[in-house]
Amino acid sequence: MKRNLPLFFAFFCGLLVIVSEFIPHRPFSLMIDTLQEWFMIISGFAIILGQISLFQSNINKIKQKDSGWMFYLAGLISFILMLIVGMFWGTQETGGLFGHGTALQARLGMKPFDYLFEFAYMPLSSTMFSLLAFFIASAAYRAFIIRSFESNLLMLTAVIVILGRTSFGSMLTGWLPQGLRFWHLPNLSDFIMEYPNSAAQRAIMISAALGIIGSSLRIILGIERSYLGSDK
């Protein structure tokens, strides 16, 4: 029962979704709507499970005084703080358990949740991602020194696309005569994006779709059952 019943559920739900696509009438249409609503609610609980797991893992590291435990404590405190302000006074659009927190809003100039978002979350997130600009530069250098035809093709395309999307690129080849307008960097960049890039993207999409169809069938038919975990 512990394994076979969940496998049957997976088969039934998968089959129901597929059948309802081909018979879009009652009761299948109603069943699929209900199933999708349930899916959303259960996914919500799955995300909560992930957050609990993160919380537990941080608590364990702090309890065991792992190296850098005070940083995990800072993470835990920021998690609790953001959660509390969000639950108590809500977000920009919605009120929380204690309403909209008008007095606090007057002090902070905005809701506490939005204050933390604007002055802590947003700077951290955009700086973290902007940091990647430096690592990308180092990755580009490594790709250059490989010196294979493929890596050169990759870098050449990247350079054309970058220059073609900036005013500098436009200025570089702006002097070209009308007959050679194709080689004007913005035009060349558009051509690459529209044709060779689309071709490769289509190949990836078609191939990935074939893979997804195969693995979905394996799940529905119960051949792939690793998601159930072990019996231990």
CA distance 113 to 90: 7
Q: How many residues bind another protein (CB under 8 A)?
A: 129
CA distance 40 to 211: 25
* Residue 52 or 174 having the CB closest to another protein: 52
Q: Can you count the helices (H) and strands (E) in the chain?
A: 11, 0
Query: Which listed range, 23-31, 113-121, 172-180, lies at the site for another protein (CB under 8 A)?
Result: 113-121
Q: Which of 31, 159, 172, 176 binds another protein (CB under 8 A)?
A: 159
Contact flag: residue 185 with another protein (CB under 8 A): no
CA distance 185 to 157: 11
Contact flag: residue 205 with another protein (CB under 8 A): yes
Query: Hey, which residues does 99 pair with through a beta bridge?
Result: 96
Task: Report residue 168 as tokens.
Answer: 């500098």
Q: How far apart are the first and last CA of the chain?
A: 15
Task: Provide the minimum distance between the beta carbon of 174 and another protein in the complex, in angstroms, as a whole number.
Answer: 19
The count of residues in the chain is: 232
Query: Which listed range, 23-31, 126-134, 170-178, lies at the site for another protein (CB under 8 A)?
Result: 126-134
Report the site for another protein in 23-42 (rule: CB under 8 A): 34-42
Contact flag: residue 94 with another protein (CB under 8 A): yes
Phi (first) and psi of residue 174, to 5 degrees: -65, -20
Q: Which of 31, 62, 154, 176 binds another protein (CB under 8 A)?
A: 154
Q: Which of 21, 27, 98, 144 binds another protein (CB under 8 A)?
A: 21
